[in-house]
Amino acid sequence: MRQPTCNIAVDQRVCRGSVFAARRQAALKFLLDRPRAIEKARGQQQNRGTKGHTERDEQGKETEYKVGVLRSQLESSLPQVALPRTRPHRGRGDHRLSYRKVQLPTMAPQSIDKEFRNVKLLPLKTTGNHVETIARAIETLETEKQLESLRREAEETRRVLERERKKQLETEHRVRWTIGEKDRIIAESRQREEDSKTSKALAVQTCREFFIHLIMFIFRLFPNLVMNSELEKDFFPWIFAKAERVFRHKLACVHLENGTLHFVIIMIRILIYFLDFAAIFTEVSLEKKQAREKLQPSFT
């Protein structure tokens, strides 16, 4: 036999002709009509201008009414039926007597086993959004809990991934900055190396040109050096020796002749001879100096 999965005393899917459905309708009608009658009586009393009963009488009547309701419910072996917050509305469905999903009140479990054989349930051939079993509802709640936990895990994972992405971006920025600094330092080092190579090449070229000019100057000056050495080592000693011999010879002649005039003439000739030699020597020195100035290269 099929086990019930809901409280059949308040289940909206129970057939209208069942005993529980009739009792439920009677209880709902009694509970709904009594407050209306009380409100109607109060309105009539106010319209007539009567003072009405005192507050104590009203509390007594209200207590008596509640006791009567409880007594009638116990006599009819019905559980307490609370008024739902929202009334069910009819809607189009796949089968007869279909209702929208509403919040059903809970019932005491003692009323289920009394008249269980008289209960008739509608067969559920097709299901829709407006029809859902309790087992499916429980599964839905469990699924919602699982989805909520998965949603929280996904949110936490998203936050972790966002933090990791920020860290990765910061690391990439630092790495790019470090690589840029290294490239800049390498470029500066290469530029300094190129400048030093250029300076070294320029210095080597300058030294080479200087040595070439110096060697050329030495080669050009070599004949003058040879001539100077010949004058200093050969011509000047010879001329001095000859002048000394002439002087001694003339001096001897003077002493022999004892002639003063002849001695003066000889001395004048010797003086002229030495003056000519000094002029020749001065001219040679000037020519050497002019030749040296012409051959000396300018390195400025």
Map 124-136 to HEC letters: CCCCCCCCCCHHH
Structural domain span for residue 255: 228-293
Q: Is residue 3 part of a domain?
A: no
- 298, 217 contact by CB (below 8 A): no
Query: Under 8 Å CB-to-CB from 85, ≥6 apart: which residues?
Result: 103
The reply to whether 214 falls in a domain is no
* Total count of domains within the chain: 2
Please report which confidence band the pLDDT of residue 166 belongs to, taking 50, 70 and 90 as the band edges: very high
Mean local confidence (pLDDT), 171-185: 91
Task: Kindly report the length of the chain.
Answer: 300
Nearest by Cα to 5 from 144, 127, 112: 112
Q: Are residues 190 and 232 in the same domain?
A: no
Domain contains 234: yes
Domain endpoint, select from 174, 196, 218: 196
Q: Is residue 188 part of a domain?
A: yes
Residue in this structure with the two tokens 């469990």, named with its chain if needed: 142
Give domain status of residue 239, yes or no: yes
Is there a domain that residue 63 lies in? no
pLDDT of residue 82: 46
Over residues 166-181, the mean pLDDT reads 91
Mean per-residue pLDDT of the chain: 69
Confidence of residue 298 (pLDDT cuts 50, 70, 90): very low
Task: Please check whether residue 53 lies inside any domain of the structure.
Answer: no
The mean per-residue pLDDT over the stretch 164-170 comes to 91
Residue 9: inside a domain = no
Domain boundary among 196, 212, 247: 196
Query: Taking the model in full, what pTM does it have?
Result: 0.27
Residue 72 has pLDDT above 60, yes or no: yes
| pLDDT (0 to 100) of residue 12 | 55
